[in-house]
Structure 1
Amino acid sequence: MRRRTFFAAAPVLLAAACATQEPQGRAITVFFTEDSAQLGPEAQDVVKGVAERAKTMQGPVSVLGFAGPAGGVAYNRALSEARAQHVADLLVQFGVARDRIRIVPRGPVPFEAVATESRRVEIRIGA
């Protein structure tokens, strides 16, 4: 799968983010720094854009949270849920009805091609 990626710098204690923009119906992804469930301003702008798009579309908004495999399974499962919850809360803040949002914590996943790809939330509209 080919992705266009946008990077946004953030302080070390906050989450750095990049987003992938896919054709309609595909996932929009924001990435987090290690051990973080907070997004910086640039990533929040990406979520705001997704919220604007979601308000014009039908169907549920799925928010899938992921974490890398390093550390304990229980910790990473909770981290993936916290990441998904943070993004869901932002979507609501930006005007998406909470009852449309489905949080799906996926827990720890093996490192992808690049370790940071495992530390992500995928947002899917209508899925």
Structure 2
Amino acid sequence: MRRRSLFAAAPVLLAAACANEPASPAITVFFMEDSATLNPEAQDVVKAAARRATSATGPVTVLGFAGPAGGAAYNRALSEARAQHVADLLAANGVARDRIRIVPRGPVPFQDMPTESRRVEIRIAG
């Protein structure tokens, strides 16, 4: 019973945790459908984010998203794999792993285009 109530509260706790973070413009990279691999142009965006992050002092939050099609568990895992891939690229380009926090957001609806939900947002504080 307790487990269920904690699970149900997780989205609220996550939203509260994100609300307490210092605001920073997100750097966004997009993925192809059903993929956790970035194309070369998106990799260049992550490399530029890593350069920016190495000159900042705060945490680097990597939020992973997936589209609403398919099962929720699959899309949550996909959003985590996307965030992990970006975190690995940031670390490979000089960002200390202990500064990187991965936040899989799972499936989210899109408003205008399906690619909106196939993304990772990089937020650099400080």
State the TM-score, normalized to the length of structure 1: 0.79
State the distance in 1 between where 2:60 and 2:107 align. 22
Q: CA offset at residue 112 of structure 1?
A: 2.5
Q: Which residue of 1 aligns with 2:102?
A: 103
Matches of 2:53 and 2:69 in 1, distance apart? Answer: 33
**Deviation by residue 1:2-42 (Cα, 9 ceiling, x = unmatched):** xxxxxxxxxxxxxxxxxxxxxx9200000001000000111
Structure 1 match to 2:17: none
Matches within 5 A, 1:106-125: 106-125=105-124
List per-residue Cα deviations over 1:44-79 (Å, max 9, x = no partner): 110000000000011000000000000000000000
104-113 or 89-98, which deviates more: 104-113
**Residue 84 of structure 1: CA displacement?**
0.1
Larger Rg: 2
Q: Residues of 1 paired with 2:39 and 2:31: CA distance?
A: 9
SS at match of 1:29: strand
TM-score for both structures, normalised by structure 2: 0.80
Q: 1:62 & 1:112 partners in 2: Cα distance?
A: 23
Residue of structure 2 in register with 1:68 after alignment: 67
User: Could you tell me how far apart the structure 1 residues matched to 2:118 and 2:111 are?
Assistant: 10
How far is the alpha carbon of 1:113 from its aligned partner? 1.7
2:30 aligned residue: 31
Q: Which has the higher helix share?
A: 2
Matched letter for residue 113 of structure 1: D
Question: Where do 5+ consecutive residues of structure 1 fail to align?
Answer: 1-23
Greater strand content? 1
Q: Distance in 2 between matches of 1:111 and 1:46?
A: 22
Distance 1:90 1:107 in 2: 20
The higher-RCO structure (CA 8 Å, 6+ apart) is 2
**Partner deviation per Cα, 1:100-121 (whole Å, 9 max, x = no partner):** 0000000000122211100000
- The CA RMSD measured in Å over matched residues stands at 1.3
**Structure 2 portions without partners, runs of 5+:** 1-22
1-side partners of 2:81 and 2:61: how far apart?
Answer: 15
Per-residue deviation, 1:91: 0.1
